[in-house]
Structure formats: structure tokens, C-alpha cells
Amino acid sequence: MERMLKKIDPETLALLLSLSQDIATIRNKKDLLQVIHSKLKTVLPFNDAVINVIHDDRKTQSPYLLDVDTNRLTHPDYEDASTRRYPFPDGVFEKVLHSDDPVVFDVKTQLRKKAAPYYINFIDQTGVKELIGMRLTDNGVAFGVFYLQLEQKDVFVERHHHILRVVASQLQAAIANLLSYQRIEEREKENAILLSISNAINSSKTKEDLLRIIKKDLQQMFMFQEIVIALLNPDRVTHSAVIYSTLDKTQAQPDYQRTVQGKYPVDDGIYDECLLNNQTLVLDMDDLIKRDNAPGYVKFFYTAQTREMIVLPLTVADQKIGCLYLLLERKGSLTPTQLKLVESITSYLSVGVANILAQERVEQQLIEINSYRQQLESENNYLQEEIGAGIYSSDIIGNSEPIAKIHQLIDRVASTDSTVLILGETGTGKELVARAIHNQSSRKDKLLVKVNCAALPANLIESELFGHEKGSFTGAVERRLGKFELANHGTLFLDEIGEMPLDLQVKLLRALQEKEIERIGGKSVIKVDVRIISATNRNLEREVHAGKFRSDLYYRLNVFPLTIPPLRERTDDIPALASHFTARFARREGKNITNISHSALQSLISYSWPGNVRELEHIIERSVLLNTGRVLKDITLPVPVKERKHGNEFIVKTWMEFEKEYLLAMLKYTNGKVSGPGGAAELLGLRSTTLSSRMKKLGISRQFS
């Protein structure tokens, strides 16, 4: 140093002393830049000063401080040239590192060399003719180069070389201190970042929460464009994206949904290398896209202008759960320091993702438990309703030839899962046939659920069939399972199917074809396994031609049609049916009726039965109520009451109308007295409670007069 100072004139020495004092007070890069710009140019001829430092990997270097002229600052490639990470050796940087003296480079000469560094091309374009470099060291270890850029050649003489050595020896101590301060600040910042992100991730309850953290914190710290977290699927041989933050232009691509929602094999040359070897991969997309077996997601993101992919393993307690993908539009955007920080963050991300997935599993289990509870409650309520409605599962009564054929058809179809369409007049026993099919099927241990399509308002049938979510419409105060879910693995009996509105027929057809439903207000489909039996008293073919019933639904339902004969075509069964109903109602009313008189049976057989078996059941019920002996003798059948109306038409009073008239006459006779001695119940041989029940059913009040 003393020898160098002796070769410098006193005036310059004075300037160097002042420069040294200024350098000693430097505390930040701004002060250092000011000293170089205002003081150094008084002792050395140059246009620009640039300090490049070596990164921790000892393989790359990049500009640390720049004091350059306007023509370079305004050049369109300035930002790229000044922020790049340059590899070395590159023919320039490492040559300075191996020299104790300043090294002078002719820019044009360097440019003519093979594979000249990018920054040589840049400074040549901006008018730099000569580049002079001086090594910077700290405790004998080189950490960077101090460059002077000159727009004129041969102005840097021997005296300037001595001055540069002195200045470099002073600068390197200040720069080494600044780098140390910077590393300390970076570590403190990294620790603060890690703590902040750790707290944020730990507080995340959903994937959406985690995605917000990624967008808010990670994407601001690291210059990546897109991020994907892809986890191993339960099969352990495929992986799928579970969290992804992508650009609008990526989402606009036609294959976006298919790509991000697809399943990919673990053994794809990327995922397995990262996960199995538990190492971070920094991949050049230009190289990846050339692979013959490049995964589909590589091609997709390459089309979206991704040029570098960084893949990091995600592990929890030594268990590999997946990988984190960072997608960058520019290569080398992340510094080694940033990459190490990302590696640290992945440990928190791994735990956060694992916790969220565990929470989702718990929530799903709770949903399933609640759904199962609702199913049990719905099944119980349904069964209670059936019991209260007096629904019985007795065998079909009768031995006539038409009924024998029905039994044969039931035996053939019951063991299958074929859809059955039961046709027949009102009151023929279509529901009883549906129950017989169900009870002989493999689904007999599950529910047979009935929906009467004619008994519900049109706006409620959809909710009845498919269910609804809480708040999906006014009055939906809680979630409700529909009859499809209630009948899952069982049988759904759609009675009076011909009454179903056309708009709902479309949804029913979809449920039958896809074997899935969606609750009103629901966001996901529900798979169902339901056998369908439908019934109608309408001529559906005629309804199809009239445009009142969908032809595609008709063909879907009419797989196995089964027509129930009317009672007038099976009169041989009337005695057995009458005996069956008599025994049931006598037992219910506590009466000892053991037989039906021959005349009563003959009157039953002779009647035309427009109301079929249901009408017979009601007439026997009324007759049992009114009967006073052990033999059922008096059976009052409806008779035509002719009333001239537009010609020869007449109306027929029903048995309920006759019963009402009879009871009113009896009550008038007893002056309205129902129970007690001389009351209507005593005269009719009925319990007072039974008579009161019949009066209520027929709409008779005690103040009947």
C-alpha cells in the first residue's frame, strides 16, 4: 500500500484521504453511490461504476450497485441486464478474480469471443469501449469485482491503476460491511416473514384461506406468476392439484379446468424425482417441453408462457404428502436466498395443508353422520306416517285367473332391478302390487317409499323427490332429504305418475338416467341407487300424443308394464276379499262377526264396482260399523238416482253419502244424543268413540239440525 501511495502525487493523495474518510462513514448503498459519483470521478477517469458480488452458491454473480449514465439507464434492456444473475467463469469476471491488479478489457475484442457474456453485448450497445475490473476481497476471500466503464479507450494510465488499487482496498471493507449488514437484515426479515406466514398458515381453516395467504404474502415476496399444490391421491400412484393460484390468461385457456382438475401419475419424471428424492428441482421449461414423455401439465403451462418451474417436496413428520410448484415467466427470477426461504416456508405449508385436509375429513364425516342421522329420522317418520295412515303389507287377496297371472308377472320381475309401470283403474290395488314386488326383491330389507304425485302441489313435488338445503327457498328452515335419498338402495313408488308436471318430468328423467340427484339449493350431485315402480290410472300413450307426458320418460318407465284387472273382471275374488275386510274391521271395532250371509255376498258379486277393491273395502267397513249380529247381513250398495240433466244422464250417490244420510237420520231420532242410554251409538251397536270418529270423517257436527 505504501509503495502505491508513493507513486501518487500529493494533490491526489489529499483527495484519496478525503475519499477514505467519506468511505469510513458509509452506512448504506445510497451513501456509497454518492461517494463514487461525487468524489471518485475527481481522481479517476470513467463514465460508469458497477460493483458485482458473488452469490452464496459461488456459481453466480450479479450487479450490487450501479452508477451509470442516462443513455444506459434509458436503454430498454437495462432492467434485464442489471437484474440478471450471471454465471461464472464467463471469460471476464473470473479473470479479474484471479488478478491482484486491475484488468483492462477492450469491449469489441470481448464481443468477438465465442459465448461473450450478455452484459458485454449490452454495454457495447450503449457506447462503452473499455471495461476495467478490480477484485474485491474480505479476509483474503474474493467476494466481487469493482468495474469502471469508459466510453473512450486508452485514457486509463499507470497512475490511475495505482489509484484504483488504493480505492478498491478502501471500498472493499465498506462493501463487505454493507453485505454483512444486509445479510443480518435479510435473516431478520426472513425470520419475521417465516413467523408471519407460519401464524397465518396456522390460522387457516380452509383451502380458500391458504390461497389468500399465498396471493397476499408469498406472491409479493417472490416473483412467481403461478403456484400449484399437488397432493398424492389415496391410491398413492396419482397426484392432483388441490390448491392453485393462476393468472387470468391461464384460466382463459380452453383446457384450464381439465388440466388443473386432472389426475396425473406420480411416475412422470418430475413429481417422483422431487418427492422420492426429497429435493428441490429448478427446471428449465424449454428443456422439459422437449421430452417425449413430458406430462400434460408441462405442455399446458408452457403454452401459458411459463419458462421455469420450481418443484419443492411437501412432507409432514417424514410422510410425503405432495409437491409445491412455483411457475415463473422468467428464468432465474428467484435468488438462492429466496429459494431457501421458500424451502423453509414449505414446511409450514405442508403442515397447513395437512391440517386443512384433516379438518375437511372431519367436516365430511360430520356431514355424513348428520346425513345418516337425518336418514334414520326420515325413515322413522316415514314409517310412522305409514302406520298412522293404515298402510298394510298383506298379500294380494284372490285366486281368480286374472290375479294368478298378476302373481306370475310379479314373480318374474321382482328379483330384477327393472323399472315397473303398474296400470289400472282407481282402487284396483296398484300400491299393493308395488309392495308385493318390493317384498319379493333383493331390496326388501330397505324402504319402499311412496310419493303420490297427485296429492302434492306442483311447487312442492321437486322438494319432496329431491330434497332441499336450508335457506334454498322461503320456508326451507332446515335441510331435508328427498324421497330419492330416503329410498336409496330400496324402492321408490311413484303413484299417479301421470299427474306429474312436465317441467319436473325432465328432472325425474335425468335422475333415472344418471342415477344421481341434486337437492334444491345444493352445490353437488348425490349418487342414488333406487328401483323405480310407478303407477297410473291414465292412458300414458294418449297423454304422450296430447303433449301432456314426455315420450322419453314414458319409454323409460314402461320397461315392464303390468296391468291390474278391475274388480268386475275378477268377481270370483269378491267373497275372499269381503271376508278379509270383514275380519279386519270387526277386529278393529271389537265386534264378533264370523260370517257373511249368502244374500249379502250375492249382492256384492252382482254390483259393477266402479270404485274397485277400494270401494269394496269402504262398503264393508261401513257395513261392519252398522252391523249388530254375528252375521253380516245388511250391505247397502250405492244405487243410481236418476235426475234428468241434459237428456238421459244420471248421477250415483256414493256409499259415504248414504252413510251420512243414515247417521243424520239416526241422530235426528235421538235428538242429537251420541253416547249413553238411548244414544245413537247404543242404537247402532257402536262404541261412542267409533261413532264420533265416523261423524268427524263425514263432516257431521253435533249441532246437526
Q: How crowded is residue 382: how many other Cβ atoms within 10 Å of its Cβ?
A: 17
**Percent of all residues in the chain with a pLDDT value above 90, rounded to a whole number:** 29
Pick from 652, 641, 593, 640: nearest CA to 620:
593
User: Which cell goes with 325?
Assistant: 410448484
For 563, phi then psi, to 5°, come to: -100, 125
Q: How far apart are CA 539 and CA 541, in angstroms?
A: 6
297 falls within a domain: yes
Please give the full DSSP string across 203-227, using - where no structure is assigned: T--SHHHHHHHIIIIIHHHS--SEE
Q: How far apart are CA 491 and CA 482, in angstroms?
A: 13
Question: 522 and 458 in one domain?
Answer: yes
Residue range 206-222: mean pLDDT, rounded: 71
CA atoms within 13 Å, Cβ hemisphere of 184: 6
Residue 251 neighbours by CB under 8 Å, 6+ apart = none
Q: What is the CATH number of the domain that holds 336?
A: 3.30.450.40
Task: Give the DSSP letter of residue 42.
Answer: G
Question: 527 and 405 in one domain?
Answer: yes
With 70 as the cut, is the pLDDT of residue 383 above it? no
161 falls within a domain: yes
Q: Confirm whether pTM is higher than 0.85.
A: no
Q: Sorting pLDDT into bands at 50, 70 and 90, what band is 393?
A: very low
The sign one gets for the Cα dihedral 638, 644, 646, 648 is positive
Question: 153 and 215 in one domain?
Answer: no
pLDDT value of position 43: 84
Query: Which of 103-107, 297-301, 363-367, 524-528 ranks highest by mean pLDDT?
Result: 103-107
CA distances from 21 to 16, 63, 71, 96 (A): 9, 25, 31, 27
Do the beta carbons of residue 483 and residue 465 sit within 8 Å?
yes
Q: How far apart are CA 177 and CA 88, in angstroms?
A: 24
Average pLDDT value for the chain: 82
385 falls within a domain: no
368 falls within a domain: no
pLDDT tens column, 182-211: 777 777 776 676 676 667 666 667 777 777
Do the beta carbons of residue 96 and residue 145 sit within 8 Å?
yes
Do the beta carbons of residue 49 and residue 147 sit within 8 Å?
yes
Please name the residue that has the C-alpha cell 261392519. Answer: 624
Question: 237 and 115 in one domain?
Answer: no
**Which of 186, 213, 240 is the last residue before a domain boundary?**
186
374 falls within a domain: no
pLDDT tens column, 601-659: 999 998 888 889 988 998 998 889 888 889 998 887 876 544 434 444 445 556 667 67
**Which of 565, 590, 625 is the last residue before a domain boundary?**
565
207 falls within a domain: yes
Question: 351 and 321 in one domain?
Answer: yes
End-to-end distance of the chain based on CA atoms, in angstroms? Answer: 134
State which amino acid sits at residue 182: Q
Question: 154 and 50 in one domain?
Answer: yes
Question: 245 and 343 in one domain?
Answer: yes
pLDDT value of position 3: 54
Most distant CA atoms of the chain, gap in Å = 150
400: containing domain:
392-565
Residue 163 neighbours by CB under 8 Å, 6+ apart = 8, 12, 16, 43, 44
Q: How crowded is residue 516: how many other Cβ atoms within 10 Å of its Cβ?
A: 13
DSSP-based three-state secondary structure for 560? strand
Host H or E run for residue 323: strand 319-328
Question: 207 and 115 in one domain?
Answer: no
**Which of 512, 542, 565 is the last residue before a domain boundary?**
565
With 90 as the cut, is the pLDDT of residue 456 above it? no
Q: How far apart are CA 35 and CA 26, in angstroms?
A: 9
Q: How far apart are CA 378 and CA 381, in angstroms?
A: 5
Host H or E run for residue 274: helix 271-277
With 70 as the cut, is the pLDDT of residue 378 above it? no
Residue 435 neighbours by CB under 8 Å, 6+ apart = 393, 448
Q: How far apart are CA 142 and CA 135, in angstroms?
A: 7
The sign one gets for the Cα dihedral 637, 640, 641, 645 is positive
Q: What is the CATH number of the domain that holds 684?
A: 1.10.8.60
pLDDT value of position 385: 52
Residue range 548-574: mean pLDDT, rounded: 93
Do the beta carbons of residue 631 and residue 586 sit within 8 Å?
no
DSSP-based three-state secondary structure for 450? strand
Total domains in the chain come to: 4
Do the beta carbons of residue 529 and residue 489 sit within 8 Å?
yes
Tell whether omega for the bond before 89 is within 30 degrees of 0, i.e. cis: yes
pLDDT tens column, 471-523: 777 777 677 788 898 889 999 999 999 989 888 899 999 999 999 998 888 87
Q: Sorting pLDDT into bands at 50, 70 and 90, what band is 9?
A: low
Do the beta carbons of residue 253 and residue 304 sit within 8 Å?
yes
Residue range 525-550: mean pLDDT, rounded: 93
Do the beta carbons of residue 353 and residue 361 sit within 8 Å?
no
The C-alpha angle with vertex 591 and arms to 587 and 595, in degrees rounded to 5, equals 85
Residue 472 neighbours by CB under 8 Å, 6+ apart = 519, 520, 521, 522
Chain-centre distance of CA 271, in angstroms? 24
Question: 230 and 121 in one domain?
Answer: no
Q: Sorting pLDDT into bands at 50, 70 and 90, what band is 306?
A: confident
Q: Sorting pLDDT into bands at 50, 70 and 90, what band is 38?
A: confident
State which amino acid sits at residue 523: K
Q: Which residues of 597-613 are buried (b: 16+ CB within 10 A; e: fewer)?
A: eeebbeebeebebebbb
pLDDT value of position 390: 45
504 falls within a domain: yes
Lowest mean pLDDT across 119-128, 172-181, 195-204, 663-672: 195-204
With 80 as the cut, is the pLDDT of residue 392 above it? no
Question: 405 and 337 in one domain?
Answer: no
Q: How far apart are CA 71 and CA 120, in angstroms?
A: 16
369 falls within a domain: no
Question: 659 and 512 in one domain?
Answer: no
Lowest mean pLDDT across 112-126, 156-170, 340-354: 340-354
Residue range 402-415: mean pLDDT, rounded: 93
Radius of gyration of the chain (CA): 47
Q: Sorting pLDDT into bands at 50, 70 and 90, what band is 124?
A: very high
Do the beta carbons of residue 62 and residue 84 sit within 8 Å?
yes
Q: How far apart are CA 264 and CA 228, in angstroms?
A: 14
Q: What is the CATH number of the domain that holds 486?
A: 3.40.50.300
pLDDT tens column, 229-261: 888 888 888 988 887 877 777 887 888 888 888
Q: How far apart are CA 7 and CA 412, in angstroms?
A: 117
Question: 212 and 181 in one domain?
Answer: no
**Ramachandran area for residue 590 (φ above 0: left; ψ -120 to 50: alpha; else beta):** left
Q: How crowded is residue 500: how many other Cβ atoms within 10 Å of its Cβ?
A: 24
